[in-house]
Structure 1
Amino acid sequence: MASPYPSGDREKVASKLPGSLRQELKIRAAELCIDIQDAVTEAIKAWQADDGVTPVVDTTGAESYSTWLPAGLYDEFKATCHARDISYTQGLAQSVRRWLDESAGHGGEAVAGVPQRKIVANQKGGVGKTAVSAGIAQAYAEEGKRVLLVDYDPQGHLSEQLGIEQIQPGQDSLVAHMCAEGKGDLRDLLVVVEGERFGKRLQVLPACFDGFLLDARIATNNRIRRRETTLERALEPLEQDFDVIVIDCPPSLGIAMDAAIYYGRRRKNEKAGVSGVIIPVLAEDSSATAYVMLTDQIESLKEDLELDLEYLGLVVNLYDSRRGYVATSSLDQWKSLVDPPVLAVIGDLKEQREAVRQQKPLLDYAPLSGQAEAMRQIARATS
């Protein structure tokens, strides 16, 4: 559907586009300093001119999307879709996906020695923070990136699920280094996650039982001047060794969470859309309440410390439409937020639970599963 632009040279087009593609498009256009409508125009024209076979794009969950195109271009686009026997939604998704792939690397350059930092957070437990943290870390490593996965939750579910022992109280640990009591090199504590798909590029910093006292230890430590910088100071010596650092946060809103939020801020000269917060949620009302509490904390910290921190997106986890109206209407509400976008909807499937039981990485245990592909989708949208 199209309606004329006041000047007559463009027309407003209403179609559909998956949330993950919309997020990537927004970020890439900002990196290249061009209007989104111009990016979509370029994308459609290039797609129309390409006589080759374009891969099908997963448009599951595509949402309403509007932009302005040069007058007449949308009619040409629809004709091309008819000729290729595909839907308008698929045609637009293919156009945008092709443009994103071809424009990769032409935006802001990564800052030397600064890894991308993904903070996976929600103060509500049971929403799948650990599953998402582990899954996307595996997906980044599968792509060829060097990845550090930090078990920042003293409950240690991530370490346990991968068959890695937690660090005992009183030993050197991330907690000790955050409290300015580190005795050695954190590199000595890292554990390599085995699996041919990862090529020894994925390492885990295990949880520590002392983490249950982290907030109190930071609050009462007179040697710590800025509490929010404790995680960054501890991990800084490791940063040059990794391309991506994923933080699996505890379900809390305390000092430790402030430190994680601060760590995920966008640093000077760092390109948009690669560091920030990923929030796993459930399709239920209590998850919405927890989301508001977390974003209130983030916004307060951003204002107090003048942080440039991005919401990379939401992940609706353990979704099952058979649960009825509460589930389906909640999913609609998450999607209606638009910013942050829904990066993926992950079904309540058996492969993740089986991988946990076997203490194996999901992408190694069930690489072709829907859950594994969802993790790759999140990784692509946040790279």
Structure 2
Amino acid sequence: MSAPSAPEDRDKVVTKIPPQLRRELKIRAATVGVDIQDAVTEGIKAWQSAAKPLAPIDTTGSESFSTYVPTSLLAAFRGDCSSLKIPYNQGVAQAISLWLDAHPLPQRHRRPTGARRVALGNQKGGVGKTAITAGVGQALAEQGFRVCMIDFDPQGHLTKQLGHQHLALKGDSLLKHMVGESQGELPDLLLPIDGQAFGGRLFLLPACTDGFLLDAKLVTSREVRVKETALEKALAPLDADFDIVLVDCPPSLGYAMDNALYYVRTRQGEEPGASGILIPVQAEDSSADAYELLREQIDALSDDLDVAISDLGFIVNLYDARKGYVVTSSLEGWESIGSPSVIAVVNELKDQREAVRQKTPLLVYAPEGEQAETMRKIARRIAS
């Protein structure tokens, strides 16, 4: 967000600050909708007017940081640091901390219609539904939202990528809550996802391999009269505790997808687009074929149950323009659809693969990387 070149009335701030402070500044500035250079300018002004001495900032392990602030302000700030015998980088760190303190993460505002609900679905496997679910969930938690990620795929890729195991087959599970065979309370199954930036706001409902029996169980269950509503009823206890619920859907067009689509419908009193489906795709032809099948299912369910399901957009994942015409023309094809629109393109980089290998959240493993920034962009789009 820093300016690529200095305007005439601004000079470049070049220093080193702790990476965690820089990351918090980047996230907070994006969350409140201001440019980094403006945030630092406000912070320096607050530093100048604050009573001294200020609490020192631990600058151990600092890394390069630069932005632009008004020329006259920077000159005065440097002079103040010198007269107070405060290292310049310490003064910048203190100024940024003051700005962060004055712009806390948004407080939770419980919505009368409950948590926002977002399904990430595509009938085609391997397009990155799990990676997008995990990355966007992490980014939303960074931005101050309480987030629950539902691993609704019995293969459990989301569960395993985040370093956890499937729920025990003979124990409690989401499926058992869906078909009236629960052994406890659903919130008891949630696992916290560690990460300093997540602030204890990110949780996972792990997968269980009994999910492969979902269709058969729903067909034979006497507890579920309308088969498409079972997921919503099971997840109802989470509604008051979370701001956003993300559902990582299996690559299928059966009852699981029907349930996920019904769960993310626009509820009475809810603004269109607050909940809905995000569709990860790749820039190749088979993703387009799979989307046609998913589109038919969305339309059929909407008509059959008389509900509205918002398309929140496409995310073109694992994009690599170096692969040539097929890839670039496919991206153009997705963009030409218009509605839903392409809300992000995630370039194919090593960060996500390495994070999965390390069983570490992407935004913990490579928080400054391009893919992490793209996840934050998607999160801001969902939360806006």
The alignment's TM-score, normalised by the length of structure 2, stands at: 0.71
Aligned counterpart, 1:357: 357
Query: Where does 1:231-270 land on structure 2 (aligned, <5 Å)?
Result: 231-270=231-270
- AA paired with 1:128? G
CA distance in 1, matches of 2:170, 2:260: 23
C-alpha change, 1:110 and 1:288, in structure 2 (3 Å) is farther
CA distance in 2, matches of 1:275, 1:335: 22
Q: Once the 2 structures are TM-superposed, how far is the Cα of residue 322 of structure 1 from its aligned partner?
A: 1.1
CA distance in 1, matches of 2:173, 2:110: 29
Q: Please give the secondary structure, in 1, of the residue aligned with 2:279.
A: strand
* Deviations, residues 25-49 of structure 1 (Å, cap 9, x unaligned): xxxxxxxxxxxxxxxxxxxxxxxxx
- AA paired with 1:318? L
Q: Once the 2 structures are TM-superposed, how far is the Cα of residue 353 of structure 1 from its aligned partner?
A: 0.4
* Contact preservation (8 Å) 1:113, 1:240: no
1:127 aligns with 2:93: no
CA distance in 2, matches of 1:110, 1:304: 31
Q: Once the 2 structures are TM-superposed, how far is the Cα of residue 272 of structure 1 from its aligned partner?
A: 2.5
Aligned counterpart, 2:181: 181
The count of corresponding residues between Structure 1 and Structure 2 is 280
CA distance in 2, matches of 1:190, 1:222: 27
Q: Once the 2 structures are TM-superposed, how far is the Cα of residue 238 of structure 1 from its aligned partner?
A: 1.3
CA distance in 2, matches of 1:375, 1:313: 14
Q: Once the 2 structures are TM-superposed, how far is the Cα of residue 162 of structure 1 from its aligned partner?
A: 0.5
Structure 2 unpaired stretches of 5+: 1-36, 40-105
* Contact preservation (8 Å) 2:351, 2:369: yes
Structure showing greater Rg: 2
Aligned counterpart, 1:226: 226
- AA paired with 1:224? V
- AA paired with 2:138? Q
- AA paired with 2:381? A
Q: Once the 2 structures are TM-superposed, how far is the Cα of residue 221 of structure 1 from its aligned partner?
A: 1.2
* Contact preservation (8 Å) 2:113, 2:268: no
* Contact preservation (8 Å) 1:153, 1:211: yes
* Contact preservation (8 Å) 2:123, 2:290: yes
Q: Please give the secondary structure, in 2, of the residue aligned with 1:314.
A: strand
* Deviations, residues 121-143 of structure 1 (Å, cap 9, x unaligned): 00100000000000111111000
CA distance in 2, matches of 1:131, 1:343: 16
CA distance in 2, matches of 1:331, 1:318: 11
Aligned counterpart, 2:319: 319
CA distance in 1, matches of 2:185, 2:38: 49
* Deviations, residues 274-326 of structure 1 (Å, cap 9, x unaligned): 20000000000000000000010001000111111100000000001111111
Q: Please give the secondary structure, in 1, of the residue aligned with 2:364.
A: helix
Q: Once the 2 structures are TM-superposed, how far is the Cα of residue 223 of structure 1 from its aligned partner?
A: 2.4
* Contact preservation (8 Å) 2:282, 2:317: yes
Q: Once the 2 structures are TM-superposed, how far is the Cα of residue 111 of structure 1 from its aligned partner?
A: 3.1
Q: Please give the secondary structure, in 2, of the residue aligned with 1:241.
A: coil
CA distance in 2, matches of 1:112, 1:233: 18
Q: Please give the secondary structure, in 1, of the residue aligned with 2:198.
A: coil
Query: Where does 1:113-124 land on structure 2 (aligned, <5 Å)?
Result: 114-124=114-124
CA distance in 2, matches of 1:274, 1:142: 19
* Contact preservation (8 Å) 1:113, 1:239: no
Aligned counterpart, 2:112: 112
Aligned counterpart, 1:301: 301
* Deviations, residues 189-215 of structure 1 (Å, cap 9, x unaligned): 110000001011000000001001111
CA distance in 2, matches of 1:329, 1:220: 46
* Contact preservation (8 Å) 2:166, 2:209: yes
Q: Once the 2 structures are TM-superposed, how far is the Cα of residue 170 of structure 1 from its aligned partner?
A: 2.1
* Contact preservation (8 Å) 1:111, 1:269: no
C-alpha change, 1:240 and 1:113, in structure 2 (3 Å) is farther
* Contact preservation (8 Å) 1:150, 1:205: yes
Aligned counterpart, 2:142: 142
- AA paired with 1:146? R
Q: Once the 2 structures are TM-superposed, how far is the Cα of residue 222 of structure 1 from its aligned partner?
A: 2.3
* Contact preservation (8 Å) 2:265, 2:276: yes
CA distance in 2, matches of 1:110, 1:292: 36
* Contact preservation (8 Å) 2:129, 2:248: yes
Aligned counterpart, 1:46: none
CA distance in 2, matches of 1:116, 1:187: 17
Aligned counterpart, 1:168: 168
Q: Please give the secondary structure, in 2, of the residue aligned with 1:169.
A: coil
The alignment's TM-score, normalised by the length of structure 1, stands at: 0.71
* Contact preservation (8 Å) 2:113, 2:270: no
Q: Once the 2 structures are TM-superposed, how far is the Cα of residue 147 of structure 1 from its aligned partner?
A: 0.4
- AA paired with 2:237? P
* Deviations, residues 230-273 of structure 1 (Å, cap 9, x unaligned): 00000001110000000000000001110000000011111222
CA distance in 1, matches of 2:202, 2:113: 18
* Contact preservation (8 Å) 1:275, 1:310: yes
Aligned counterpart, 2:368: 368
CA distance in 1, matches of 2:325, 2:186: 48
- AA paired with 2:159? S
CA distance in 2, matches of 1:182, 1:297: 29
Q: Once the 2 structures are TM-superposed, how far is the Cα of residue 113 of structure 1 from its aligned partner?
A: 6.1
- AA paired with 1:143? Q
* Contact preservation (8 Å) 1:276, 1:311: yes
C-alpha change, 1:298 and 1:193, in structure 2 (3 Å) is same
Aligned counterpart, 2:15: none
Query: Where does 1:337-348 land on structure 2 (aligned, <5 Å)?
Result: 337-348=337-348
